[in-house]
Amino acid sequence: MGMWASLDAMWEMPAEKRIFGAVLLFSWTVYLWETFLAQRQRRIYKTTTHVPLELGQIMDSETFEKSRLYQLDKSTFSFWSGLYSEIEGTLILLFGGIPYLWRLSGRFCGYAGFGPEYEITQSLVFLLLATLFSALTGLPWSLYNTFVIEEKHGFNQQTLGFFMKDAVKKFIVTQCILLPVSSLLLYIIKIGGDYFFIYAWLFTLVVSLVLVTIYADYIAPLFDKFTPLPEGKLKQEIEVMAKSIDFPLTKVYVVEGSKRSSHSNAYFYGFFKNKRIVLFDTLLEEYSVLNKAILEESGMEARKDGEGDSEEIKANVKNKKQGCKNEEVLAVLGHELGHWKLGHTVKNIIISQMNSFLCFFLFAVLIGRKELFSAFGFYNSQPTLIGLLIIFQFIFSPYNETYVCYPRGTEGWS
């Protein structure tokens, strides 16, 4: 009887209260479920102290132990950062952080001579303040992750000055993209009429394709140095592998990732017949800046023929060297190219755009519901940007969780 009475009481509450309560309840339910799964995985990290039989031929005990301890530290960090994020989000909702920031944005606009009728201008100020708040509150966690966890396990290569300069640059570049795109999207929604959701979807599709096209050529070089992979055996083998699956390779680049981290990666980009491959220098044993530093420290840079070097020094350098041999690089790259060959990239784009269209359509259906705005503290106004935030982030959260869990795009497709 008590449970049913509670349910009856909940349904008797105003619609906006029910919406707000449901959003908070779902958010904490997802958080607790994901925390349970993470803690279950953490127990595996703690109890599995020996190399599994399946990996015995390809991984030594020292490497396995390093990986295990790294994952333990990462899981601890993830727990506390996740808890903080959930509490922060809850407090923002409970204490009206979103309507407060909207009013603050309006005051800033008023100081500049823009009244309430300049909703898009106020929306851009809101976005600027919101992303600034997010950057500042996330900074301590990012610093700890980089200079404590990554440093402890030998992955971090950044200085504090480089880190801060990089963070400021990322924030500025983000604003240069976010604010113009957001202003155009809001304008399209405002003037689009009954079918604005189609125009908004098409606009976001074009923007996403443009960003994918220009990212590696114009945005990424703002942060990292890209150089063509020198002629040699590795480049020839990459070209042969690309040709064997009819991958339209035009260029192969090496990006200087070693100035940030010793983690490795590889990816490809481009449309149609203009595909390019990017390899992190930390992936390449014979190219890594880190390996050159190791050689210099060992006194071997000037004696590449190995004469006069003790076996102990050679073994030390071999154990310290970063990166993969050519056949290992090809294996990593083969995994990435396999996604292209099997059509995962195209499938991912199609599914993502179907999802995007559905979300904009449902947004068009729900944007006129005043109770959605009232649930989050907007009683006298219904700003378009706030509607996007409420509906896409909160109202769609159950659907978003289902969509995120659906196997799409990469390993989920076979």
CB count within 10 Å of CB 82 equals 14
Annotated active-site residue 34? The verdict is: no
- Strand 249-255 vs strand 226-228: parallel, antiparallel, or unpaired? antiparallel
pTM: 0.84
CB count within 10 Å of CB 369 equals 18
Torsion over CA: 402, 408, 410, 414 (sign): positive
The pLDDT of residue 267 is: 85
What the block records as the tokens of 283 is 């992936």
101 and 386 Cβ atoms separated by less than 8 Å: no
Alpha helices in 215-325 (DSSP H): 233-244, 289-297, 311-320
Sorted by where each begins, the domain ranges of the chain are 15-192, 209-299+320-367
Token pair 């396999």: residue = 338
The pLDDT of residue 402 is: 78
Fold of 209-299+320-367: Zincin-like (3.30.2010)
Token pair 């999802």: residue = 355
Low-confidence ranges of the chain (pLDDT < 50): 3, 290, 293-295, 298, 300-302, 307-308, 310-320, 406-414
125-181 pLDDT per residue, tens: 999 999 999 999 999 999 999 999 999 998 898 999 999 999 999 999 999 999 999
The pLDDT of residue 322 is: 64
Show the CA angle centred on residue 256, arms to residues 291 and 181, nearest 5°.
160
The pLDDT of residue 10 is: 58
Marked catalytic residue, from 336, 371, 401, 411: 336
The pLDDT of residue 272 is: 73
| 339 marked ligand binding residue | yes
Token pair 């030998």: residue = 154
- Amino acid in the structure at residue 294: I
Nearest CA to 224 out of 190, 186, 257, 266 is that of: 257
DSSP code at position 229:
P
| Distance, CA of 227 to CA of 239 (rounded, Å) | 17
| Distance, CA of 254 to CA of 266 (rounded, Å) | 9
Alpha-carbon distance values, 82 to 5, 137, 188, 243 (Å): 34, 13, 35, 44
- Strand 249-255 vs strand 275-280: parallel, antiparallel, or unpaired? parallel
266-278 pLDDT per residue, tens: 888 877 777 888 8
User: Which residues share a beta bridge with 261?
Assistant: 156
